[in-house]
Structure 1
Amino acid sequence: GEAVQGGGAGPACGCKGIRRCLLCQGPAPCLILLCPFLFPQKQGNFTYCPAAGLAVGNECSEFAGWAFPFPGVFLLEEFINPDEESQMVQLMDQDDWKLSQSGRRKQDYGPKVNFKKKKLKVDGFIGLPSFSQEIVQRMKAHSALENFFPVEQCNLDYLPERGSAIDPHFDDWWLWGERLVSLNLLSKTVLSMSCDSEDSLQLFTHKPNNSWDIDHSSPPRLIPYKEVTVDILLPRRSLIVLYGDARYKWKHAIYRKHIEHRRICVTFRELSAEFTLGGKQEKLGKELLEIALTFQGKPV
């Protein structure tokens, strides 16, 4: 909606189009929290199990006892320590946070992009921030990220009193590549995964033992993808990578009910094939990457 004015101090929120936060939803924001059916937030009926790579049916849902493989997720707990987390947030807060949509605030380190027109400007981009250099280096120790070269970093600040959230969406495919990497700071949350596909999903019974083995001896159950929401639990200071199906088939969202305290998400993105070796815009991609990895940046 239109940004509303806050006591002469400029826009109180950064919402546009159908986006909404608690600051622009009218005089009684408490109704939004009390009446979630007015602003639907899908309840997860499966929870992702990192150890097994399965989405496991929640006990309180009709899918208790059922599971299905959920590929494309790599989750690392305690990727940074509490001191590093505190230092990173302190450094972020020294720079301005810009109002963003859906009750969030943001800091962007990357080229200015018009995704609709598929155009970008290098001007003004001077690299990722210095405090990310050690983080990016540490990522490469893991096989899922050994050749990950981020060209953009976006810090997003979520606050419960602002109604911060983000609706189910795909990240852009034209500029950004296969892996989306996010570091979850200050509080735990839930990444909610949903799929609009008209196809059917195969569920299998599982054995609730240490390995959560799927029982292939029992007949599978077919249900529409649309009936499924998978909750991925993100502990504080954890790092998550989405790739493959989790990147291109399943949308991801953060619902208001899962923002209990201030939460900062630091997302790193790599370039798509069009901007890498052999791609149509390889030269531009090389220039962007060289700038990004100087680690001298300020928010643009």
Structure 2
Amino acid sequence: MAAPSIAMDRNHQSNGKLGKTEKKFLRKQNKARHTLLRHEGIETVSYATQILVVANGGLGNGVSRNQLLPELEKLGQVDALLMPPNKPYSFVTYKTIEESKKAYVTLNGQKIVDDLGQKIILYLNFVEKAQWKELGLQALPPGLKVVEEIISSEDEKLLLESVNWTEDTDNPNFQKSLKHRRVKHFGYEFHYENNNVHKDKPLPGGLPDICDSMLEKWLKEGFIRHKPDQLTVNQYEPGHGIPAHIDTHSAFEDEIISLSLGSEIVMDFKHPDGVTVPVMLPRRSLLVMTGESRYLWTHGITPRKFDTVQASKGHKSGIITGDVGDLTLSKRGIRTSFTFRKVRQTPCDCSYPLVCDSQMKEPPPSFPESDKEALQLEQKYVHQVYEEIAGHFSSTRHTPWPHIVEFLKALPSGSLVADVGCGNGKYLGINKELYMVGCDRSQNLVDICRERQFQAFVCDALAVPVRSGSCDACISIAVIHHFATAERRMAALQELARLLRPGGKALIYVWAMEQEYKKEKSKYLRENRTSQGRQEINSDPSAEEQFVEPVPDTGHQDSACSVPSINDFQKGRSNSKEVANCKLPIHTNRTSFHSQDLLVPWHLKGNASKEKPTEPFGPAGTHDPSPVFHRYYHVFCEGELEAACQTLNNVSILQSYYDQGNWCVILQKV
């Protein structure tokens, strides 16, 4: 598709030739056009229309409506500015074609400062129509309500001043050390190691006096049904959040309420079937969770510095709609939440037994809260596992993925490229014109790289012994999802950014929670097939080929943990064995994910050092028992990887896309 000839008007040369700057601009504009077509299905045209697509000028890369619209309005009457959520582009419709031509000539290649103070370059192209993925009609989860302006600004000030964050170890309510937020407990201490409270050990002093009259008023006015006896105060800095979770059923009664102070925030609610509803919690609002929203839906706050919100204030309370003509960015401030609960004294008898710890035979899943716990989990369920399965794992990793090959082939000759988490090195020899070096936490996988004459060494992805700013590019393929906390995943992203020189690029792949995307099943789900009693079970959304192994019909999973997965309950499988002391759910391979943090089984076949699997059946069809290993994963929800990347201070997102069960991002060092 030819670039519009109008591009020449803004870069006219007296000798009729294009200079270096103009050639570079046209090259980047052309790349933006092809990226929009390839990843978003947006087709540009080579003639002028009233509608322009603005690449790099979108909510997904930190440009708000308040920044972009004034620049566009300087050049003509804007009929509509459509900004799809989490996308790095937007659409502008002008009153006349002449006005859109003027914007095309004037703004193409111009810099704009985003909400983080970083300069980004806009690339404009004409389109026949504005198109994007429509969001379904959003409704609050059942049992959830948001009450705005529940207290006055004066009461807000008094509440914030009542919290003394100065650490006092003599005070039983003193601040707890959590890396992603500051926390204080009143009434009862909440223990994050088991997500519960000691019901027979109340804290002295009860709830702060300042809260008593406020709670009584809410009771009288019917906003709440029970008077709480436990309070957790959390303080969040911009860019911080809290992982998705359900408050333990057996610990607290049905009603959980949370008062938001200091700054508004968007909280994400997610149903087990994958439906996600972003809910705006305005400053001085009260969130009330009862019934299904309290017991079945997870809730969490994505760590980022901006939220996508409604530009107008007339929308229904709490709802973030899909109206792309009314979305913008809201910069987060310091938010303090007062979350009130009533400690439960009897077992929970809710209507959701599949996820209720009181009604399950086993305790609920637990997740690492501290960095030390996360490292221990990774050592046991990531590092040790890959050392054991390295040979067999390598035998399933030999066909490079096309988009990764495309990224490597597009890099300039002589580029220095680091493959962080290189595995068996299948990408190290893709482009012979590059200087590629790989690193991996597994000694056995690095040994395989060296046998293949690749340059590779052993290191941790959080501390790569390479000088800062020395790499032209980095790739991180199916690595970051193995880190067990949001902070460690952020640290891995920051390490990639540290390695890059200014202008350098990084390609990142992580497993996707959504294995059915845009009504199309990923290869991971499509290959859920059985043949003659054999079923594929060593499964990866990021793998290019899998082997087949028999699964004996034992009536329960061959591997297990303290808590069966939701899949097991649905299939009547409740007889699970223990995987050490871990309480994470075990994933049923080749099925949709029902939890973001889980263990994925790997059945080691035959001799792990062999390049091809051995026959797993013994004489007379008897099953040759092979060891089962479990790898820890945090599977990413749509937009989660982009949101994490947006919190980095020195990078911009060039592209983000979905590729066969993986969320993918290309970053550039600013």
**TM-score, L = length of structure 2:** 0.26
- Correspondence for 1:249: 296
Work out whether residues 168 and 253 of structure 1, in 8 Å CA contact, stay in contact via their aligned partners in 2: yes
C-alpha distance in 1 between matches for 2:195 and 2:270: 27
Alignment of 1:257-268 (within 5 A): 257=304, 258=307, 260-268=332-340
**Which of the residues 232, 243, 246 maps onto 1:154?**
232
- Correspondence for 1:193: 269
Q: Cα RMSD over matched residues?
A: 3.2
Identity over aligned residues, as a percent?
24
Over 3 Å counting, the alpha-carbon distance change for 1:60 and 1:131 in structure 2 is farther
Over 3 Å counting, the alpha-carbon distance change for 1:95 and 1:78 in structure 2 is farther
Work out whether residues 166 and 175 of structure 2, in 8 Å CA contact, stay in contact via their aligned partners in 1: no
Over 3 Å counting, the alpha-carbon distance change for 1:240 and 1:123 in structure 2 is closer
Work out whether residues 138 and 277 of structure 2, in 8 Å CA contact, stay in contact via their aligned partners in 1: no
Work out whether residues 192 and 252 of structure 1, in 8 Å CA contact, stay in contact via their aligned partners in 2: yes
C-alpha distance in 1 between matches for 2:240 and 2:296: 24
Deviation at 1:103, TM superposition (A): 1.2
Aligned-partner SS, 2:263:
coil
C-alpha distance in 2 between matches for 1:112 and 1:88: 20
Deviation at 1:104, TM superposition (A): 0.2
Deviation at 1:83, TM superposition (A): 0.8
Work out whether residues 194 and 250 of structure 1, in 8 Å CA contact, stay in contact via their aligned partners in 2: yes
Unaligned 5+ runs, structure 2? 1-59, 62-84, 87-130, 168-173, 308-330, 349-670
- Correspondence for 2:413: none
- Correspondence for 2:248: 172
Work out whether residues 74 and 144 of structure 1, in 8 Å CA contact, stay in contact via their aligned partners in 2: no
C-alpha distance in 1 between matches for 2:217 and 2:293: 23
Over 3 Å counting, the alpha-carbon distance change for 1:231 and 1:102 in structure 2 is farther
**TM-score, L = length of structure 1:** 0.56
Deviation at 1:235, TM superposition (A): 0.6
Deviation at 1:191, TM superposition (A): 1.1
Deviation at 1:68, TM superposition (A): 5.4
In the alignment, structure 1 residue 108 sits paired with structure 2 residue 185: yes
Q: Which amino acid is 1:77 matched to?
A: E
Alignment of 1:1-300 (within 5 A): 61-64=133-136, 66-67=137-138, 70-93=141-164, 96=167, 98-112=175-189, 116=194, 120=198, 121-122=200-201, 124-145=203-224, 147-160=225-238, 163-195=239-271, 197=272, 225-226=273-274, 228-257=275-304, 258=307, 260-272=332-344, 274=346
C-alpha distance in 1 between matches for 2:197 and 2:259: 28
Q: Which amino acid is 1:234 matched to?
A: L
Aligned-partner SS, 1:192:
strand
Query: Larger relative CO (CA 8 A, sep 6+): 1 or 2?
Result: 1
Work out whether residues 110 and 128 of structure 1, in 8 Å CA contact, stay in contact via their aligned partners in 2: yes
C-alpha distance in 2 between matches for 1:75 and 1:245: 15
Over 3 Å counting, the alpha-carbon distance change for 1:234 and 1:112 in structure 2 is closer
Over 3 Å counting, the alpha-carbon distance change for 1:113 and 1:94 in structure 2 is closer
C-alpha distance in 1 between matches for 2:201 and 2:142: 35
- Correspondence for 1:298: none
C-alpha distance in 2 between matches for 1:179 and 1:122: 22
C-alpha distance in 2 between matches for 1:69 and 1:133: 29
Over 3 Å counting, the alpha-carbon distance change for 1:102 and 1:94 in structure 2 is closer
Work out whether residues 98 and 106 of structure 1, in 8 Å CA contact, stay in contact via their aligned partners in 2: yes
Task: Name the larger-Rg structure.
Answer: 2
C-alpha distance in 1 between matches for 2:259 and 2:155: 12
Deviation at 1:273, TM superposition (A): 5.5
